[in-house]
Amino acid sequence: MNYTCANCGQEHDDWPALVYPTPLSYAELTDEEKKKAELTSDLCVIQNPTDTYYFVRVVLIQTVVDACQDLDYGVWVSLSEKSFKEYCDNYDNKEFKTTYFGWFNNHIAPYPFETCMGIGTNVEVDNERGRPFIYLHQKENNDLVHDFYTGITTEEATRRIKVALGN
Ligand SMILES: [Zn+2]
């Protein structure tokens, strides 16, 4: 989709959001386990014999340094039971705003798997705006966190979009 940019007045391609339809923890379940889990476009609950895990769909905005737009990711974080229940209770409450702690729960290319695991995030909920935005907590020697704060190039953003679209 082309659009006229309010920033520079030129025509740009509107980049698609790179969406992960489920948390990584769900994607790794067997078919049998998936039947027992709950999954919607925004919420996911996984139960195993000893524990229950709660996930919500969020937005990660990757800054692109030499472009007029950023690259949006549709990803998932795990929340505590308390946070998840409060989030669900307020799902239709447009005035609901809060901040939760969440663990990042997707494997984003081109980063190695280990790079994407164990990243803490602030989950900024503002129902008037839409899905929560996440802000990654600082972590040393982590390229995903580093790029989130310093930005990627248009060349890199375009490469990621092409990979996501399969061409
Ligand atoms: Zn522009």
CA of 136 to the centre of ligand 1 (A): 26
33-89 pLDDT per residue, tens: 999 999 999 999 999 889 999 999 999 999 999 999 999 999 999 999 999 999 999
Beta-strand runs (E) in the chain: 2-4, 11-13, 18-19, 38-39, 43-47, 52-62, 71-79, 97-104, 120-126, 133-136
For the chain, give every domain's residue range.
17-165
90-141 pLDDT per residue, tens: 999 999 999 999 999 999 999 999 999 999 999 999 999 999 999 999 999 9
Neighbours of ion ligand 1 (CB under 5 A): 5, 7-8, 68
CA of 152 to the centre of ligand 1 (A): 17
CA of 149 to the centre of ligand 1 (A): 21
